[in-house]
Chains A and B, each alone.
Chain A
Amino acid sequence: MNIKESNTRLPTASIGGKARQYRRFWPVYLMMLPGLIYLFINNYMPLPGAIVAFKQYNARLGIYSSKWVGFKNFEYLFRTSDAWVITRNTILYNVAFIIVNTILAILVAVVLSELTGKRKKAYQSVILLPNLISTVIISYLVFAFFSVGSGFINKSILPLFGVAPVSWYSEAKHWPYIIIFVNAWRSVGYLCIIYLATLMGFDRAYYESALIDGASRLKQFWYITLPLLKPTIVMLTLMAIGRIFYSDFGLFYQVPMNQGALYATTNTIDTYVYRGLLQLGDISMSSAAGLYQSAIGFVLVLGANMLVRVIDRDSALI
């Protein structure tokens, strides 16, 4: 994070300097070693296996001797007009999640930081609870609301306003709202804890002097809290952007109850791949999908980070 600073202080970082650094900090490097070894075994050793995405896998021949088929395994991802729908859904939902969840989490964190004592603990726990519930259970909570024949909304809410029952599970247009809502309900609690922890670390002196200068709550939030939170927001958003090509499988598969009629707004890359490959069980095609998502995710993280560095160098990760 302080590359700029260290560069100015050590304009000519010589090899001798590096060696001195190693001598001086060797216990720290030693402590890093187990982590690095783990990372190497777990994340780097399997990498050559990604080549299976370009092969027609045959167990008798093994990964490396199987027939080379180039990009054929990737074709099914782009085969139909669905390619556009699933890519659009995956990206737009993730963008919506990033924006909605970040705003809500910051607001909730600020509100929570104003509370004290037992009440704060209680609210914090309650708001975190949905994050701990399994997606399958969430899907049935949602179903209890939206069931066509016996759901709470069709049976109790809509009749109050004299509205006819809605076939929730066969009309795709409602689902963007439902999914964004469910996701916010589930993830905001966890996200807000990270923001809250950061908030609690701020120097109270800023706020005290602002108070003396007569700044309102809103002004304090706008001119003190938000700028101080910026590095955290940028980091969390960058991490989210790296996963913008992935979707929470449970949220898009379980919550809409795997309904075909809802594909237009609930099919994402992950659910498309799962549904397709469930039938075929093809190792090469599954790897192709994974590799494609990883590659795009990698490019997106680097791209987003580059953008951040142009705008504000100190907030960039690398």
Chain B
Amino acid sequence: MKRKLLALLLCAALMVSAVNGALAQNSGEVTELVMMFMTWTGAPADTQAVQDAINAITVEKLGLKVDLQISDVGAYKQAVQLALSGGEQVDIFTTIMLNYPSLVAQGYLTDLDENDLLATYGAGIVTAVGQEFIDACRIGGVLYGLPNNRDMAQGRGCAAVATEYLDGIGYQVPADQQDSEIVKITLDELNDIYARLHETYPALEVYRPVQLSMMQFSNVDFLGGSSFGVLMDYGSSLDVVNLYESDFYRDYCERMYDYNQKGYISPDATTDTTSVTELVKAGTLMSYTTGGKPGIRQQETNMCGRPMTIFQTMDDYISSNAVAQFPWTIPINTVDAEKAMILLNEFYTNPDLANLLSWGIQGKHYQVLDTGLIDFADGVDASTSTWNPSVGWEMPNQYITYVWNGNAPDLWQQIADFNTNAKKSLASGFTFDSTDTATELTAVQNVYDEYQKSLEYGFVDPAVGIAEMNAKLMDAGLQRIIDDKTSQLNAWEALNK
């Protein structure tokens, strides 16, 4: 049934795009290019207005028009895959929610070095992002995507705790860290804080794990973006190992099991899908795990609706796949790869376009304050704004946009420094081609899904559960994946040394 529907859709899409193509050829010199990206809630109400404002600039300067096709986070992957496999016109899109290496493996993306595409038409992009980050997006030496400017590093081992409960137990931030946004403490100190929180507020949930928590609280490099075959200790060696047999994983699960035994975690933690920030806002939860970065305290405070304190127990880290996680790409469906690159270059270098994408139209959606920061335009707030997608980090170049009020004025510089100063994986820039292990990856993913929540949310004794899961993972072909990753990593190392 699904296949039938798909086939019909594909036929329809082909016909529509054929008609579109015919029309475009008749309309003269302005080429219309299709740009796809996602927001949390789908196309904002003022998409047309913002698109017109962008076109007002690009038509005059470049003779190009852009058609923004925006999907919500849940539908984006499918929207892109349907468009790509159906041969629809797509000229530039971000690979977020999709798997960049697998798109390359399936032949959907244009080689950006072909005919010196990037060098001729995208020189501004290289300057804006830096050659090092661009090279990190190469797959087998070939460049198919361009990284954007955002927080590439992540502060590992961070916990957000609502400040009012910390006041309630009489906790004092260490004197030397009064002014810092992120308070550095040890894991033992964090456990101690949790114990006192539970003692003082026995009716509240102390900590709520989510599926990302283990990764955010680890020093593990998820090689190629999957947890099957990883580098330990911030990628300081190129030994690919099984994460689930590591001491780190055992300690982590034991800590969660301990939390659960002590009653820190709700018995409904595995089934409740309410976001942790909503739970804090509702006043039932006190703490959760997050990824540290400059501006994190303001971000979490806004989302939770109450002041938050951010603790960090580990280091800042750029994992091997962070840079190439969701580059901007030009698919083979493009009507004109050169013009697509010209447009992309403009988005990376023209602050007017970058601001339009991130913040909307000045005076209508935002206003510039005396401080040089921006805030909602008069009479507009977060709930009434008609262009407030909050996905600046997804856009090509966030660094040339305004900084939102409440953040440090030099936020973008702080983020750039954060990326520079973070620990880097030795495998930075390695991407894993999963074509040969697709079968095994599907099988081990199912095994992991079966055990992940029980173990990582502390509902099962790790002494029993971990061994059981490992036996099944090995049975499902984990060793083949590790071996394949090892050989690809060795080949990559030889090429890049």
Residues on A close to B: CB < 8 A? 41-43, 45-46, 49-50, 56-61, 72, 75-76, 79-82, 143, 147-150, 167, 169-170, 257, 259-261, 263, 267, 272, 275-277, 279-283, 285, 287, 290
Contacts and interface: CB of A to CB of B under 8 A. Distances in A.
B102 A281 contact: yes
Interface string B418-444: 000000000000000011001111110
Q: Sorted from nearest, which 10 A-B pairs have the closest CB atoms? A: A276-B442, A60-B107, A46-B7, A58-B107, A76-B439, A79-B443, A148-B267, A260-B450, A76-B442, A149-B267
Contacts of B450: 260-261, 263, 267
A67 to B, nearest CB: 10
A282 B81 CA distance: 10
B105 to A, nearest CB: 8
A206 B108 CA distance: 68
Given A82-B446, A279-B445, A169 B440 contact: no
B5 to A, nearest CB: 9
A56 B475 contact: no
Contacts of B267: 148-149, 167
B281 interface: no
Interface in B214-272: 226, 266-268, 270-271
A72 B439 contact: yes
Contacts of B449: 260, 263, 275
A147 B271 contact: yes
A58 B106 contact: yes
A281 B105 CA distance: 12
Interface in B1-43: 2-4, 7-8
Given A59-B107, A260-B449, A280-B102, A81 B475 contact: yes
B121 interface: no
Nearest to A256: B271
Nearest to B448: A260
B400 interface: no
9 contacts: A46-B4, A56-B435, A58-B107, A147-B271, A260-B450, A260-B451, A261-B450, A272-B446, A276-B441
Contacts of A169: 270-271
Contacts of B226: 279
A150 B453 CA distance: 20
A276 B8 contact: no
Contact of B443 (A50, A267, A276): A276
Given A149-B267, A169-B271, A275-B449, A282 B438 contact: yes
A281 B435 contact: no
B32 to A, nearest CB: 22
B454 interface: yes
Contacts of B332: 59-60
A55 B106 CA distance: 11
B85 interface: yes
Specify the main secondary structure of chain A where it touches its partner: helix
Given A60-B107, A61-B107, A257 B442 contact: no
B267 to A, nearest CB: 4
B389 interface: no
B459 A279 contact: no
Interface in B131-157: none
A287 B4 CA distance: 11
Contacts of A49: 3, 7
A38 to B, nearest CB: 11
A279 B441 contact: yes
Interface residues of B, number: 47
B99 interface: yes
Nearest to A146: B271
Contact of B447 (A80, A280, A290): A80
A147 B268 CA distance: 7
Contacts of B440: 76, 79
A3 B226 CA distance: 59
A270 to B, nearest CB: 10
Given A149-B266, A276-B442, 8 more contacts: A59-B332, A79-B476, A80-B446, A167-B267, A260-B451, A261-B459, A279-B99, A280-B99
| Most B-side CB within 10 Å, residue of A43, A148, A167 | A148
Nearest to A151: B268
B84, B446, B460, B472 pick with most chain A CB within 10 angstroms: B446
B81 A261 contact: no
A75 to B, nearest CB: 5
Contacts of B486: none
Contact of B271 (A42, A46, A143): A143
B445 A275 contact: yes
Interface string B66-100: 00000000000100010011000000000000110
Nearest to B476: A80
B85 A59 contact: yes
Contacts of A61: 107
Contact of B454 (A60, A261, A275): A261
B446 A276 contact: yes
Contacts of A150: 268
Given A46-B3, A80-B447, A150-B268, A260 B442 contact: no
B275 to A, nearest CB: 16
B385 interface: no
A279 B447 CA distance: 13
B405 interface: no
A170 B442 contact: no
Contacts of A80: 443, 446-447, 472, 475-477
Contacts of A281: 77, 81, 98-99, 102
B465 to A, nearest CB: 10
A280 B107 contact: no
B472 A43 contact: no
Contacts of B472: 80-81
A76 B443 contact: yes
Interface in B479-496: none
Interface string B452-464: 1110000110000
A154 to B, nearest CB: 9
Contacts of A287: 3
Contacts of A149: 266-268
A282 B439 CA distance: 10
A110 B3 CA distance: 39
Given A58-B107, A167-B267, A169-B270, A290 B3 contact: yes
